[in-house]
Amino acid sequence: MTLRFAFTLSVLCLMMACAVRAEHAPRAFTAHSMQVIHAEQAGKPYVLALWSVYCEPCRDELALLGRFKAENPSLPVILVAADPPEDASAIASILAQFELTGIKHWSFADAFVEPLRYAIDPRWRGELPRTYLFDADHNATAVAGRLDAEALAAWTKNLKQP
pLDDT digit of tens for each residue in the chain (162 aa)?
565 544 444 444 444 433 334 446 889 999 999 999 999 999 999 999 999 999 999 999 999 999 999 999 999 999 999 999 899 999 999 999 999 988 999 999 988 999 999 999 999 999 999 999 999 999 999 999 999 999 999 999 998 755
Tell me if the pTM is above 0.85. Answer: no
- Nearest 5°: CA angle at 71, between 105 and 153? 95
Q: In the chain, which residue ranges form alpha helices assigned H by DSSP?
A: 3-24, 33-40, 56-71, 88-97, 114-120, 149-160
The residue extents of the domains of the chain are 27-160
To the question of domain 27-160 being in CATH 3.50.50.60, the answer is no
A 10 A CB-CB count for 112 gives 10
Query: How do 130-134 and 46-51 pair as beta strands?
Result: antiparallel
